């Protein structure tokens, strides 16, 4: 089998959390374009339905929408079971849901801190372990987590200690699961995007001054595009990556190189 064939996801089934819009929508689209059937998982069910319909029409794949609060263990368990039931299996997943709260550490409330850790880290543990249990019992699979370049550096000028800590935790969780499951057929990797110009970010008026500063600091002088993450996630979900596990892929236009 040639490398192009190995990069195809024909016959594979998977899901993406936080997939109604933004990065998750883009990676779900990439999986479907590569031949997979995909579940769009999000708290915003109405938008998830629209996204699923759009991707299905564009790719001809089976794409479903599921509502799930990924911080709720019972809902995550039920979501994974529903993916398996409706799609007929589970070969890969992308734990992508996350939030950011920018607040100086001395002003950040403990409730804000806990919310960031719950959404950005605890939900990844729940998603990975429930997906992993199915994969371990059914021949293996690939798990992809969204970390961030913020797990490697301290972003400026915005204060975001909770976000940075949560994403560093995602990377270490990824490595830990990869080692535990390395001989059991389940690969676990993470991607660390830099500043990505999603529709939400580009539409936020209060972020425009920050975007100007980020671009001034960036070697490429611009934000990344969600579409520029498509290749790496398809690779990680595919049979071309069978020796790739425990890795973090920084996609940041060289932002973290200095």
The reply to whether 163 belongs to the active site is yes
Residue 199 pLDDT:
86
The reply to whether 195 belongs to the active site is no
Contact 137, 182 (CB under 8 A): no
Residue 203 pLDDT:
83
Q: Token pair of 3, please?
A: 């490398």
Is pTM beyond 0.75 here? yes
Catalytic residue among 123, 142, 148, 190: 148
Residue 34 pLDDT:
98
Residues of the chain with pLDDT under 70: none
The reply to whether 192 belongs to the active site is no
Catalytic residue among 123, 134, 167, 235: 167
Domains and CATH numbers, the chain: 3-247 (3.40.50.720)
Catalytic residue among 12, 13, 142, 163: 163
Task: Give me the DSSP letters along 19-85.
Answer: -SSHHHHHHHHHHHHTT-EEEEEES-HHHHHHHHHHHHHHH-S-EEEEE--TT-HHHHHHHHHHHHH
The secondary structure element, H or E, covering residue 171 is helix 161-181
Q: What is the pLDDT of residues 216-248, one digit of tens each?
A: 999 999 999 999 999 999 999 999 999 999 999
Residue 72 pLDDT:
98
């Amino acid at each position: 089998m040639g490398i192009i064939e190995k990069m195809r996801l024909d016959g594979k089934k998977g899901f993406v959390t936080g997939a109604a819009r933004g990065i998750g929508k883009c990676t779900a689209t990439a999986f479907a374009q590569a031949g997979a059937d995909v579940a769009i998982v999000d708290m915003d069910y109405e938008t998830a339905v629209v996204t699923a319909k759009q991707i299905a029409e564009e790719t001809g794949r089976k794409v479903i929408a599921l509502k799930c609060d990924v911080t709720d263990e019972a809902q995550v368990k039920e979501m994974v079971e529903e993916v398996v039931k409706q799609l007929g299996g589970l070969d890969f997943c992308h734990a992508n849901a996350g939030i950011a709260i920018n607040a100086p550490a001395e002003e950040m409330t403990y409730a804000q801190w806990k919310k960031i850790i719950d959404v950005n880290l605890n939900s990844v543990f729940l998603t990975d372990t429930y997906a992993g249990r199915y994969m371990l019992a059914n021949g293996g699979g690939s798990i992809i987590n969204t970390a961030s370049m913020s797990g490697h550096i301290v972003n400026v000028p915005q204060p975001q200690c909770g976000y940075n800590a949560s994403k560093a935790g995602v990377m270490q969780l990824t490595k830990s699961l990869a080692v535990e499951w390395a001989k059991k057929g389940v690969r676990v990797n993470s991607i660390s995007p830099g500043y990505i110009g999603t529709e939400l970010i580009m539409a936020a008026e209060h972020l425009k001054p920050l975007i100007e500063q980020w671009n001034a600091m960036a070697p490429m002088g611009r934000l990344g595009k969600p579409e520029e993450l498509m290749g790496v996630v398809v690779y990680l979900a595919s049979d071309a990556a069978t020796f790739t596990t425990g890795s973090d892929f920084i996609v940041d236009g060289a932002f973290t190189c200095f």
